[in-house]
Structure 1
Amino acid sequence: MSSSETTAVTVRSPRHALGWGFFLSELGVLFRRRRTQAMLGALAAVPILIAVAIRVTGGDGRGPAFLDRISQNGLFVGMTALVVSIPLFLPLTVGVVAGDSIAGEASTGTLRYLLVSPVGRIRLLVVKFASAVVFCLAATLTVSLAGILAGAVLFPIGPVTLLSGDTVDVGEALLRALLISVYVALGLLGLAAIGLFISTLTDAPVGAMAATVVVAILSQVLGQLSQTELLHPFLPSYHWLDFADLLRQPIDWSSFAGNAWLQLAYVAIFGALSYARFATKDVLS
């Protein structure tokens, strides 16, 4: 092998290692943390507690959407748990992960070493955000799957009657549940991008986490006020609970598309702001 060929191999190998290898390493660090595991465990407990409560009390039909259908079909436990988790529990966990992304590295003194190695600031931001995206999907799937399993144990499982009045078999109902989980995870991407930006502004991860959660709560509060009606379509939480269209036959994809475009806009805007801030940030730790 010639010296030029040897040099080419030497150059390509680190690039490959710092691509998928760096991303997979970041995922490993994220999901091995006890904090992450505790958050996923708490999310899994939500549908389990709902299912147990309905089983013990029988339920009176009052409560969040789909609650009155659980005793007839356990598949609705996951959907009910998502409705319960969307306003606070899911944004809270996403806020913790996104807010800690850069500020956490700075607080522990590892950010400078990551940038000294040939990682680069853009790649670091992309990998941190991609890890947050994976967590968003893992969190929603945790709620949904825990609900399905708890529902299967405590209640009968069978064909599901959709909101349009049509009935689908269990297989298609599970596919709809997966689509709803993806929809909810997609709706959290804007919040993750906001959290990443806030994380570049400070070296205090707790402050970045808290600020991200406050943004999620403030968005939902503004979404309930008639005085801010003009702002509603632009709030990151605007489409969070609009997954009912996925429970119709045929599926109405308009809300899914609206959710995707809104979140992509937030990702583009706050991704650019994150880079603008992080590219000029003086990293001392």
Structure 2
Amino acid sequence: MPGKPSVSSAPDGPRAPGWRLLGSELAVLFRRRRTWAMLLALDAIPVLIALAVRLSSAVPAGRGPAFLDRISQNGLFVGVTAMLVAVPLFLPLTVGVVAGDTLAGEAGLGTLRYLLAAPAGRGRLLLVKYGGAVVFAAAAPLTVALVGAGIGAALFPVGPVTLLSGDTIGAADALGRLLLIAAYLAVSLVGLSAIGLFMSSLTDVPVGAMAATVVLAVIAQVADALPQLEWLHPWLFSHRWLDFADLLRQPVAWDTFAANALLQAGYVAVFGALAYAKFATKDVLS
């Protein structure tokens, strides 16, 4: 009818500034040399593994990281082995750097007050900063998987893969499983990202927040390795980081994936709430 505004001409409402803020945050994050330096450092892991296997003699079965002895028969295992190597330290290190810099980096540069001057609100800004950290947490294992698959295909034969259940799947399906493992690791790191966000809300010194986040990741893994703390293991955010064996079976058993997602969601809820409680009352104007 005449005079009635169409849906397309209606204002975007309060959601649009949030999406614009997230887009701006991601653009800034992935324009930084530090971000690309960390991704390139992660990419060096599968390249180093592939070259080491290619230039060496046969790897004895049971020696080195899991699946290392299968790389020479199928290059897709480079990606799986590289992710296994990256999980204990390198992935938490890079994610801790990004998450720890979210708020503390802006505060240290003096730009946080200008961000809050926009009509975004502290809650929305906190979500945007966490969203940027989560996107990086997904990009980090994904780049390891893709570079591993690429260098593996370049240096070794690629063909059907025998899963842990004994079933054989084609190379295309195996690549899908590789990406599924990357997704599992991305979910595994969202809890650490929330911890980093909270640490970042406590200080104006980004290096301190980064270091605290990475140290907590190391402490959690050390505690998970101590049998005396077995009662604590199921509650540690790092407890299920390496439990993606069910993704290499036929059919895929999703119980572990769901349990890991639930565990990480608990950490996101707790440390997200703590970060909001701290950031909502933080003096950024003085």
What range is the shorter-chain TM-score in? over 0.9
Report the counterpart of residue 256 of structure 1 in structure 2: 257
Off by >4 Å, runs of 4+ in structure 1: none
> 3-state DSSP class of the match of 1:105?
helix
CA distance in 1: counterparts of 2:119 and 2:98, whole angstroms: 24
Q: CA 1:115–1:152 in 2, change beyond 3 Å: closer, same or farther?
A: same
Partner AA of 2:169 in structure 1: V
Report the counterpart of residue 17 of structure 2 in structure 1: 18
> 3-state DSSP class of the match of 1:188?
helix
Report the counterpart of residue 55 of structure 2 in structure 1: 56
Partner AA of 1:182 in structure 2: A
Report the counterpart of residue 201 of structure 1 in structure 2: 202
Deviation for aligned residue 1:21: 1.2
Report the counterpart of residue 232 of structure 1 in structure 2: 233
CA distance in 2: counterparts of 1:37 and 1:191, whole angstroms: 20
Deviation for aligned residue 1:16: 4.9
Matches within 5 A, 1:125-140: 125-140=126-141
Partner AA of 2:234 in structure 1: P
Aligned-pair identity (%): 65
Q: Deviations over 1:34-56 (max 9, x none)?
A: 00000000001100000000000
CA distance in 1: counterparts of 2:48 and 2:71, whole angstroms: 13
Deviation for aligned residue 1:96: 0.2
CA distance in 2: counterparts of 1:92 and 1:63, whole angstroms: 22
CA distance in 1: counterparts of 2:136 and 2:10, whole angstroms: 32
TM-score of the pair, normalised by structure 2: 0.94
Structure 2: where are the runs of 5+ without partners? Answer: none
CA distance in 2: counterparts of 1:65 and 1:158, whole angstroms: 19
Report the counterpart of residue 270 of structure 1 in structure 2: 271
CA distance in 2: counterparts of 1:249 and 1:258, whole angstroms: 19
Report the counterpart of residue 223 of structure 1 in structure 2: 224
Report the counterpart of residue 212 of structure 2 in structure 1: 211
Q: Deviations over 1:107-139 (max 9, x none)?
A: 001000000111110001101111111101100
Deviation for aligned residue 1:60: 3.0
The reply to whether residue 159 of structure 1 matches residue 160 of structure 2 is yes
> 3-state DSSP class of the match of 2:232?
helix
> 3-state DSSP class of the match of 1:46?
helix
CA distance in 1: counterparts of 2:9 and 2:200, whole angstroms: 34
Deviation for aligned residue 1:14: 7.3
Deviation for aligned residue 1:284: 3.1
Q: Deviations over 1:68-97 (max 9, x none)?
A: 110000000000000000000000000000
Deviation for aligned residue 1:10: 11
Partner AA of 1:22 in structure 2: L
Greater per-residue helix proportion: 1
CA distance in 1: counterparts of 2:174 and 2:86, whole angstroms: 20
> 3-state DSSP class of the match of 2:265?
helix
Q: Deviations over 1:160-211 (max 9, x none)?
A: 0000110000111011111100000100010000000000000000000000
Partner AA of 1:275 in structure 2: Y
CA distance in 1: counterparts of 2:15 and 2:158, whole angstroms: 46
Q: CA 1:250–1:11 in 2, change beyond 3 Å: closer, same or farther?
A: closer
CA distance in 2: counterparts of 1:162 and 1:172, whole angstroms: 11
CA distance in 1: counterparts of 2:246 and 2:10, whole angstroms: 50
Partner AA of 1:60 in structure 2: P
Partner AA of 1:20 in structure 2: W
Deviation for aligned residue 1:233: 0.2
Deviation for aligned residue 1:17: 4.2
Structure 1: where are the runs of 5+ without partners? Answer: none
TM-score of the pair, normalised by structure 1: 0.95
Partner AA of 2:101 in structure 1: D
> 3-state DSSP class of the match of 1:156?
coil
**How many residue pairs end up in the alignment?**
279
Partner AA of 2:204 in structure 1: D
Deviation for aligned residue 1:254: 1.1
